[in-house]
Amino acid sequence: MDFTILTTQATDALGRIHERTPVIVPPDMREDWLDPHLTDLDLVRQVLDALPEPTLDTYEVSTAVNSPRNDSPDLLTHRS
């Protein structure tokens, strides 16, 4: 399975942690976003601009997440 994670400038509470935030497409906008005929860059920008600001919960995690050598389910639950 292939996928892409799009990011944009963080303007929400996440911005205090990192300058980028994931682009989250709400269910009611997915059809527009996934439209294969949406190829005009200006229209793509309009869809992106219409996305609501994400609402994410943040919590501190272990610094072990900073290394790609660490790959374990514990990284999702272990807090510093």
DSSP H helices in 1-80: 30-33, 41-50, 74-77
Which of 4, 12, 80 is CA-nearest to residue 52? 12
Q: pTM of the prediction?
A: 0.64
For residues 59-80, average pLDDT? 81
Give the domain ranges of the chain: 7-77
pLDDT digits (tens, 9 = 90+) for 14-42: 777 888 888 899 999 999 999 999 999 99
